[in-house]
Amino acid sequence: MEKKKGSVYASLKTSGCGQKSFYSVSVDSGIEVSFFNLQGDSFSFSHKHRPYTLIVDFCRKGRIGWTMQNGDTFFAGENDFLIHNAGSCAQSRVKLPLGFYSGISLSFDLELIDTAFLQKIGTDFSLDDIVKSFCIKEYSQSFAAEDFVTGIFNNLKDEKIQCVKSLFKLNCYSLLTYLGAFHHFKHSVLRLNSQIKIEKVRKVTDFLKKDLQKHYTIANLSEIFGINPTTLQESFKDITGQSIDAFVKEIRMNKAEDLLEDESLSIGEIAHRLGYMNQGKFSTAFKMRKGIGPLEYRKRIKNLFKEA
């Protein structure tokens, strides 16, 4: 399979602050698979597209928010997927609420698909039906993880299977067959988020990161930012993929790793800086998260520096 020889991402240009890498493989006539790894806050995407190209983006790790040309923003977390036509994302923006994203994008140019192969494997749908469903109108929608889709993309992410072109090809056609029968199944649709909601949640996350010593309840944050408590919780989970409590715990643990590298700080001082009542509570929380206590973590880091 040839790299960077597809109809969609061969001309991809990205811009933004952070690290980005991608490559594409041409699987068959009209079928291309692209692999993305992004780190940062946001990126702009620009690529050429053909009118009847359908794309399925699958999030492997992290979280991604696609803002399409019409202003709609869809967020997807691990194993969630987004279906859209190429025109809707040709000039689009990507936000990374967790700072990173690893994903796979599978594109079908429906004018170039090998219809004879579809007939051989016994499909009973028309490509015209897919065009009408997803391509003629501007179509974008994100969906919660489903076992069938997850299974296909888990096969596609395997570097070994890429060496066996027939297996790689069959997985791609399996997804196309699924899209042909898409409306026969029930799907858990992920909520669309407005730019106003996204900006409010960004302000909340920035506020929470600023002072990790303080503890805020939903009621506190609701009053500070003038957002209904239920709306705040729902919007925060939709956009970050985490509850407010889980988000704060994660940033505390990430900060703890940085502070533990500074041997001049005692474990008690680190616990205080991160808002824990005492060293014991911090050590318990750290071990639950990392599998080892803070002292053991510090020793390992020290040894790693010595070896380097």
pTM of the model: 0.76
Q: Can you give the pLDDT at residue 176?
A: 92
Q: Can you give the pLDDT at residue 157?
A: 80
Rounded CA-CA distance 126/214 in Å is: 58
The mean pLDDT of 215-234, rounded to a whole number, is 93
For 123, counting Cβ atoms within 10 Å of its Cβ (0-12 exposed, 13-18 middle, 19+ buried), the class is: middle
Q: Can you give the pLDDT at residue 10?
A: 53
The mean pLDDT of 162-168, rounded to a whole number, is 75
Q: Can you give the pLDDT at residue 197?
A: 84
Between 205 and 123, the higher pLDDT residue: 205
Per the DSSP assignment, residues forming a β-bridge with 65 are 75, 95
The mean pLDDT of 167-176, rounded to a whole number, is 90
Instruction: Give the burial string for 70-103 (b: 16+ CB within 10 Å, else e).
Output: eebbbbbbebbbbbbbbbbbbebbbbbbeebbbb
> Is residue 273 very low, low, confident or very high in pLDDT (cuts 50, 70, 90)?
very high
Here the contacts of 286-290 (C-beta below 8 Å, separation 24 or greater) are: 286/253, 286/256, 289/249, 289/253, 290/253
Angstrom CA distances, 95 to 32, 62, 102, 130, 259, stand at: 24, 11, 13, 28, 28
- Mean pLDDT, the chain, as a whole number? 85
Least confident of 60-64, 108-112, 193-197: 193-197
> Is residue 19 very low, low, confident or very high in pLDDT (cuts 50, 70, 90)?
confident
Tokens at residue 221, please? 């944050």
Name the DSSP class of 190. Answer: P
Percent of the chain's residues with pLDDT above 90:
39
Q: Can you give the pLDDT at residue 230?
A: 94
